[in-house]
Amino acid sequence: MDTQKTILLIEDDLDLAELASAYFRQKNILVIHLVDPMEALQAIITAKVKPDAIITDLNLPLMSGLSFIKAVRAEGLQLPIILITVSNDVETAVEAIAAGAYDFVVKPLHFPQLLISAQRAFKYKSLHAENETLRQTIDYTKGMNPDGIIGKSDAIRKVIDLAKRVAKSSSTVSIWGESGTGKEVFAKAIHNWSPRSKMPFVAINCSAIPENLLESELFGHAKGSFTGALEKKIGLFEEADGGTLFLDEIGDLNLPLQSKLLRVLQEREIKRVGENQSRAVDVRVIVATHKDLRVEVQEKRFREDLFFRLNVIPMKLPPLRERREDILPLAEHFLNRFNVLNGTNILGFKKSAKEFLLTQPWRGNVRELENAIERAVVLSTTNEIDASAFSLFDEPSLQDSFLSTEDKKNAFIFHFGDEVEPLHEVEKKYVQFVYERKNHAKELTAKALGIDRKTLYRKLQEIEPTTAEK
């Protein structure tokens, strides 16, 4: 269901303001009327008023409509502003648009025309918000935005401060932390905060490449150096020349490759497989692992000299359970992100959902939280997420304890057992759940599921032949 839009109307003609308010009220649009533009400016700066669009007269006491527009833009606010003028000349239009107006209308007002302008302004604001969220999402995934590393806890702020300091150097950085804590995000951030930011950032997961191919991936190979080497290949060290090479899961590197990596770090030179020629490389190396390399050294699975070479600047990322004040800000960030990616308009989290998020152990850390929010956005059938939307967790007792009576009634909960059900069986249960929640209204059920009635009939027939005939 669409939320009610709000217009801030700045107009000293009280009769006109009353007529406009009444007209927009019929269109389910709330009008907040103010006479003083200075008061209006203060209201939006302090977020006392949060309009979806502003309509302001050109001729106002204390401040003209054009001056008001310039003042709003000077504050960095991107709200769409429609200017009411008494002149239809081109100069006024050009001046209004140049000042930052979204549109302008001429007195005497034609309210249907004003409505169209307002609706376009609403759409503009919505698209601007989506674009901003997408930009922040892209920056976050690239580690480009210092604020993209979401967190206000002391634990994460200390790591961010350290990352900013070490970014200025070319020293090797070792990032330690559990799976899902954001090691690659921090590696990208260090690169993008560094003097090397304009050069390549190259990443590889050492555990994801077969051992017999990893050397070639890192250092490259000469044509014919081994079976299948039909062409020469430039390795990742050369690709990252001048920039940063991120070696994830460095603890899984085998001993022969550890020896070669140590030589590269010491000599700043590489040799392609099958070549004798050394090639100089200027690469800042950042490594990450979830393993305790000190234990790996003791167990003779990791070279001690390489450990000391890598451990120049160690950074320990705290698990999410040790920075619980960051859970809800992260959840809001992911909600905004998946709203844009999925074309949804979920406004936030109910109290039950927040309590649920704050009490989970998050063994998969930020990655697990991100997946949980994405799943909740997909499964939620209302404009606010409640605890019932987190329906695929393997700890149902924790989930159930935070469901209100109403939430329990509406909850679609799938409990993992020893045997995992096939996807089509889970789908049947969910279709049946939505069908019952919509009181067996097929049109509403099909709309909620995002399918047509014909498809719904077929699915209901698969569940129970008599159900589709009701």
Q: Is the pLDDT of residue 87 over 80?
A: no
Q: Is the pLDDT of residue 9 over 50?
A: yes
pLDDT, position 249: 92
pLDDT range class, residue 145, cuts 50, 70, 90: very low
Q: Is the pLDDT of residue 263 over 70?
A: yes
What angle, 0 to 180 degrees and rounded to 10, lies between the N-to-C axes of helices 37-45 and 65-74? 20
pLDDT, position 215: 85
Residue 42: closest CA among 59, 57, 58, 63:
63
pLDDT, position 308: 93
Look at 16-25, 30-39, 230-239, 296-305 and tell me which has the smallest mean pLDDT.
Answer: 230-239
Spatial distance between the Cα atoms of 389 and 376, rounded to a whole number of angstroms: 5
Tokens at 203, concatenated: 């990443």
Look at 114-118, 312-316, 459-463 and tell me which has the smallest mean pLDDT.
Answer: 459-463
Q: Is the pLDDT of residue 271 over 80?
A: yes
Grouping H, G, I as helix, E, B as strand and the rest as coil, residue 288 is: strand
Question: Tokens 């006491």 appear where?
Answer: 61
Q: Is the pLDDT of residue 247 over 90?
A: yes
pLDDT, position 241: 92
Question: Average pLDDT, stretch 262-285?
Answer: 89
Question: Average pLDDT, stretch 46-60?
Answer: 88
Give yes or no for a cis peptide into 108 (omega within 30° of 0): yes
Q: From the centroid of its chain, how far is CA 297?
A: 38
Higher pLDDT, 136 or 370: 370
Whether residue 126 contacts residue 344, with contact meaning beta carbons closer than 8 Å, is answered with no
pLDDT, position 413: 54
Tokens at 127, concatenated: 């698209």
Q: What are the backbone angles phi and psi of residue 412, rounded to the nearest 5°?
A: -100, 105
Q: Is the pLDDT of residue 94 over 90?
A: no
**Where in the chain are all domains bearing CATH 3.40.50.2300?**
5-138
pLDDT per residue over 388-414, tens digit each? Answer: 777 544 444 444 444 555 555 555 555
Measured between alpha carbons, how far apart are the two ends of the chain, in Å? 27
pLDDT, position 142: 46
Q: Is the pLDDT of residue 295 over 90?
A: yes
Spatial distance between the Cα atoms of 314 and 298, rounded to a whole number of angstroms: 19
**Where in the chain are all domains bearing CATH 3.40.50.300?**
146-318
- Counting residues of the chain whose pLDDT is more than 70, the rounded percentage is 85
pLDDT, position 1: 41
pLDDT, position 229: 67
What angle, 0 to 180 degrees and rounded to 10, lies between the N-to-C axes of helices 183-192 and 154-167? 40
pLDDT per residue over 171-209, tens digit each? Answer: 999 999 998 999 999 999 999 899 999 999 999 998 888
Question: Average pLDDT, stretch 246-270?
Answer: 92
pLDDT, position 250: 93
Fold that domain 5-138 belongs to in CATH: Rossmann fold (3.40.50)
**Where in the chain are all domains bearing CATH 1.10.8.60?**
322-468
pLDDT, position 2: 55
pLDDT, position 173: 94
H and E: helices and strands count for the chain: 21, 16
Tokens at 263, concatenated: 């030589």
pLDDT range class, residue 152, cuts 50, 70, 90: confident
pLDDT, position 273: 82
Higher pLDDT, 418 or 67: 67
pLDDT, position 398: 44
pLDDT, position 126: 80
Higher pLDDT, 31 or 398: 31
- Rounded to the nearest integer, the mean pLDDT of the chain is 83
Grouping H, G, I as helix, E, B as strand and the rest as coil, residue 95 is: helix
pLDDT, position 394: 42
Question: Tokens 């000391």 appear where?
Answer: 308
Question: Average pLDDT, stretch 234-244?
Answer: 91
Spatial distance between the Cα atoms of 48 and 27, rounded to a whole number of angstroms: 24
- Domain at 322-468, CATH from 2.40.50.100, 1.10.3720.10, 2.40.340.10, 1.10.8.60: 1.10.8.60
Longest dimension (CA), the chain: 88
- Domain at 146-318, CATH from 3.20.20.20, 3.40.50.300, 3.30.300.30, 3.30.70.100: 3.40.50.300
Q: Is the pLDDT of residue 365 over 90?
A: yes
Question: Average pLDDT, stretch 336-341?
Answer: 81
pLDDT range class, residue 78, cuts 50, 70, 90: confident
What angle, 0 to 180 degrees and rounded to 10, lies between the N-to-C axes of helices 90-99 and 65-74? 20
